[in-house]
Amino acid sequence: DAKTTQPPSMDCAEGRAANLPCNHSTISGNEYVYWYRQIHSQGPQYIIHGLKNNETNEMASLIITEDRKSSTLILPHATLRDTAVYYCIGNNAGNMLTFGGGTRLMVKP
């Protein structure tokens, strides 16, 4: 799995968009970028993934740069329940995921 780098923490105002960056400059051509989040005392939860194109689902949007060296997870209207640790992972379909330190997102009222 590619090594990823994320800021350790971020704040966001409730109702505003949360933009979480991830650097994955060593990602290989067949590795997808995955985002998971972990709410306190729960297991990680899958959010979204992508290879080259931008992706959107009911939870979030994923913007991947053209060179694939970085990506941004966007939560369009953050709520207090989005407070969690967000993990960016590069993975090529193996089940041995490498989680980094993640970004602790605090959504504030």
Partner 1 sequence: KAGVTQTPRYLIKTRGQQVTLSCSPISGHRSVSWYQQTPGQGLQFLFEYFSETQRNKGNFPGRFSGRQFSNSRSEMNVSTLELGDSALYLCASSLEPQGARSYTFGSGTRLTVV
- Residue 42 or 109 with smaller CB distance to partner 1: 42
- Residue 44 or 75 with smaller CB distance to partner 1: 44
Beta-carbon contacts of 21 under 8 Å, excluding residues fewer than 6 positions away, are 6, 7, 70, 71, 72
One character per residue 36-75, x = contact with partner 1 (rule: CB under 8 A): x----xxxxxx--x--------------------------
Query: Do the Cβ atoms of 37 and 84 come closer than 8 Å?
Result: yes
Cα gap 104→109, rounded to integer Å: 16
Query: Do the Cβ atoms of 75 and 62 come closer than 8 Å?
Result: no
Question: Rounded to the nearest whole angstrom, what is the least distance from the CB of residue 6 to partner 1 in the complex?
Answer: 12
Of 98, 89, 73, 78, the C-alpha closest to 33 is 89
- Residue 93 or 109 with smaller CB distance to partner 1: 93
Q: Which stretch binds partner 1 (CB under 8 A): 17-25, 52-60, 65-73, 88-96?
A: 88-96
**Which residues would be at the binding site for partner 1 (CB under 8 A)?**
32, 34, 36, 41-46, 49, 87, 89, 91-102
